[in-house]
Chain A
């Protein structure tokens, strides 16, 4: 069945370091792909999304490209800040239905140190 796999956390970086969080998906059909972020004590928020192959989603300095050939949607940021510390979830819509149902990865905790 459809599923999302993220790299294990926690990821600990120093401020201004380069960030990559890997995400791969398996899907029948053509899913949309999302990154959601959960800051401490807050609800899930959409960070960025891509709805078709080769689309690049971007927001707040984060970006991810929908790679159909490698079934990946890796999250990157060139220079992280302490305020980026949060849990990041990669998600896809169910590939063969058009209901909008989201399938999430297990989440990756990012801790940025000053």
Chain B
């Protein structure tokens, strides 16, 4: 079965510009996650969707970050305007169930963002 797809794989932008990332989860997976991984650190959850509803966005900087999951399938994460500290790898993950604690999350390859 196809894994989690993300695009683009790499993006370089100037600070104050905007950028968008796209994620296509594994077919049939109800729950989708976006994580931010800063170099040398573990991933940190930004937002979690269950179908097309938000479960947790407590760590999403809502003044500049936004995300949506239309029709409960694909998702986009947007940053506007970008800051230097947003340089990181943005990981998308999906899990089959309705957000349970024993569910395995399957990760995409990530998008590496560099803000200059």
Majority-rule SS of B interface residues: loop
Contact with A along B17-36 (1 / 0, CB 8 A): 00000000000000101010
Question: Are A51 and B43 interface neighbours, CB within 8 A?
Answer: no
Question: Are A99 and B56 interface neighbours, CB within 8 A?
Answer: yes
Question: Are B42 and A4 interface neighbours, CB within 8 A?
Answer: yes
Contacts of B40 in A (CB 8 A): 106-107
Question: Are A107 and B42 interface neighbours, CB within 8 A?
Answer: yes
Using a CB–CB cutoff of 8 Å, the interface residues on chain B facing chain A are 3-4, 31, 33, 35, 40-45, 48, 55-56, 91, 93, 95, 97, 99-110
**CB within 8 A of A99: which of B91, B99, B102, B106?**
B99
Contacts of A102 in B (CB 8 A): 33, 35, 43, 45, 105
